[in-house]
Amino acid sequence: MVSVLTFWRALLRETGLIGSSRTRSADTAAPTREEQSVERPATAPVPSPAPVGGAPTEPLSLPAEEREGAPAAQTSATRTRVAEAESAPPAPVPTAGMRATSLERTLRALVERLGTEHPDTITARNNLATKYAQMGRRQAAVQQFELALAEAVEVFGEEHPRTEIIRENLAWAYEDAGRPADASGQWEMLLRERERQFGPADEDTVEARMRLAVCYRRSGRLDAAVAHYERAIEDVTATERREELRLGLSAAQSMSGRYDDAIAQLRMVLAGRRRRMGKGHLDTLTVHHRLGRAYTQAGRPDEAVEVLRDAYRVALNSSGDPDVRRLTLRLRRDLAGAYNAAGRHREAKALL
């Protein structure tokens, strides 16, 4: 069932409030009304030819300049204008910079006419920040999202759906700008609100918990990250999302020195991907590689050799994919390191 929050998001985007959080690719974002390309002039329809051997058709109506008796100069000028119009290049497609400029003009006009705290102004500021984020102007995006959020809280309150969308956008912008600690503060508020409204197992609640765990991990709060990863794994229903969470959990556990726990998570993900994708799939091999490195980090070189050697052999048989070929080189390097750690220097030398 579609959550209430998803419905609100769809409704608010119809009214012009754009969320950038779920659309990570700038090129696939639909333009707003302010960003639509300039309409090209419609060309005149080409008259159908008269049917051969059929009844005569209605005579074509000529422009006044081309009717019988019209001056030749006027007729020539008309034809010249038509030819120039037909040969004119098409209107250029607006660039991201042109779209941002249009959104900036819209925001300035709304601020002058309605003030900074009008709902239309808040929407326009959020949309401009979204465009900045899509263009890679991270600091500008953060500044505009911060202003939009402060104004939304003042006008709508902390719990309004519009405020929630802008807060999520700001959280993503903080992450993109390399500020995971600041993003954590926003995800904490989003998580509390979504748990209260929709419960812990709702898709949007799990999303907020996962992003919070990621930000905790990136900012060095490893115990908190592990706790939220583990809780999200309990609440999530989709298999692929659960695997993603297990990979994040294993990373946090490795960073905190809990290598055996990290290995257990990676083994579960590897088994699942082998069943679903096959052992030669890039995503499966990537996890296989991580598992071998985890054994190396745990100081278990013999097991690292076994896992990395198996992954290396599979990768050699699946090396038609350029990404698999690059992974094969990394596997070869790490397998040589594992051989050296296990005291098997001759085998390591053969790989290098």
Residue 88, number of CB atoms within 10 A of its CB? 10
Burial 188-199 (b: 16+ CB within 10 A, else e): bbbbebbeeeee
- In degrees and rounded to multiples of 5, residue 273 shows phi and psi of -70, -35
Q: Mean pLDDT across the stretch 270-274?
A: 97
Give the CA dihedral 248, 250, 256, 261, nearest 10 degrees.
150
Per-residue CA distances from 83 to 40, 43, 60, 79 (Å)? 16, 12, 19, 6
Specify the higher pLDDT residue, 76 or 63: 76
Residue 125 confidence class, pLDDT cut points 50, 70, 90: very high
Q: What predicted TM-score, i.e. pTM, was given to this entire model?
A: 0.72
All structural domains of the chain, each given as residue ranges with its CATH number in brackets, are 260-352 (1.25.40.10)
Kindly state the tokens that stand for 53. Answer: 């051997």
**pLDDT confidence of residue 319:** 72
Which pLDDT band holds residue 243 (cuts at 50, 70, 90)? very high
Q: Give the pLDDT band (50/70/90) at residue 157.
A: very high
- 148-179 core/surface letters (b: 16 or more CB in 10 A; e: else): bbebbeebbeeeebbbbbbbbbbbbbbbbeeb
Query: Tell me, what DSSP letter sits at residue 22?
Result: S
Percent of all residues in the chain with a pLDDT value above 70, rounded to a whole number: 74
pLDDT-derived band at 321 (thresholds 50, 70, 90) equals confident
Nearest to residue 212, comparing CAs of 189, 239, 195? 189
- What is the separation, in whole angstroms, between the first and last Cα of the chain? 55
- Cα distance between residue 349 and residue 352, in whole Å: 5
- The Cα–Cα gap between 262 and 251 comes to 7
